[in-house]
Every structure is written in structure tokens, then in C-alpha cells.
Amino acid sequence: MTRTVALLAAIAFLGGCGGEDSPTSTEATAQLQPKAFASAAQAAVNQDLATLRQVTASFHNFAAATAAGWAAQITPCMESPEGGMGFHYGNVGLIDGTARVDQPELLLYEPESNGQLRLVAVEYIIPYTFHSRDAAPPVLFGQEFQQVDAFQLWGLHAWVWKNNPSGTFAAWNPLVNCANATATSRMSH
């Protein structure tokens, strides 16, 4: 007990020896809050991405994805000068104007040389009919959705199954291509 009291007294004494340049407790707390908030926000995003990976892991098997409702081919294999996206397969029952981490509306597949499709990403979409183009963008994972006028919707990609050097939430992935697809669409998204 005596040792603890002496230690606390020494800490208090040293805390007071910093001179006038030392921040007050309130100033120090204010300086730490943005970093703590950013760290907590990133932890929440990482947890949401882990949830997304967990709920989509079985969809590496394309037959499992179609059986679970992602059966509607929404686009041919898409690529642009910025990279590719692959094929978009949708679960039309989820296109309801909401965006939930564990229910992406679209699954993105890259065609492989063996004829199989490889799950590379998901896309969350909200059509303008549910959320006006003139409104503030929807937000998920702390990211604002992007306007996709070609399809009259808001969209947000999450590259959770293939690394994207352009960023986890970038629209195009320079590592994805449609070289093995028979039907492609070149555009900007």
C-alpha cells in the first residue's frame, strides 16, 4: 500500500514538472480524441468487412450463390481503362432501397481461364427511384456511395475477395479483367 501511494505521488509530481509547454489534461484529451475516433471507426469498418466476408464466403461456389438468390446476371463482364469489375450477379429481392453490410445486392465474379467464375467483390446498390440522385449519398462502411448514372443508381463496391491496389471501395480493380469472358462491356462506372 505504501509503495502504491509513493508511486502515485511520484507520478503526480512528474506530471506537474512539465512547465508551461505541457498540455493540460483537457488539451491532451482533445488531441487524442480524433485519433481515438478514427481508430474506433476503422475498427468498426474492419468488423463490418469481416462480417461481409463471413456471409459471402460460401459464394465462392457460384452454384451456392445462385441457389441463395444471386442468380440474375445484371451485366456482362465489365472493364474499363481503370481496370475491371467482372460479371455482376444480383439478388433482386435485396434491391429494396436499403444497404446492409450482410446483404449485398450484387456479387462480382471474374471469369477464369478454366471457365469458372471467381468471386472477387460485392456491390451495394440503391436505385435512384429509392434514393434520389439529388439527395445526399447513402453511406456504408463510412464510405459515400457513388452516382452511377448509366444504371440510374447509387453504388458502392467492396473488394473483399481480391486485393484492389486502387482501394477496398474503389469502383474498378486494375487486377481484374475480362480476358476469359465471351461477353464484355467496356465503360466507365
Residue 52 CB contacts under 8 Å (≥ 6 apart), including other chains: 101, 102, 104, 122, 158, 160
pLDDT at 38: 72
Q: Give the model's pLDDT for residue 31.
A: 52
- Predicted local confidence at residue 42, as pLDDT: 87
Task: In whole angstroms, give the CA distance from residue 88 to residue 170.
Answer: 15
User: What pLDDT, on the 0 to 100 scale, is given for residue 94?
Assistant: 97
What pTM value is reported for the model? 0.79
State the pLDDT at residue 124: 98
How far, in Å, CA of 185 to CA of 132, rounded? 26
Q: Which residues of the chain have pLDDT under 50?
A: 1-30, 32, 189
pLDDT for res 177: 95
Rounded to the nearest 5°, which phi and psi values hold at 72? Answer: -85, 115
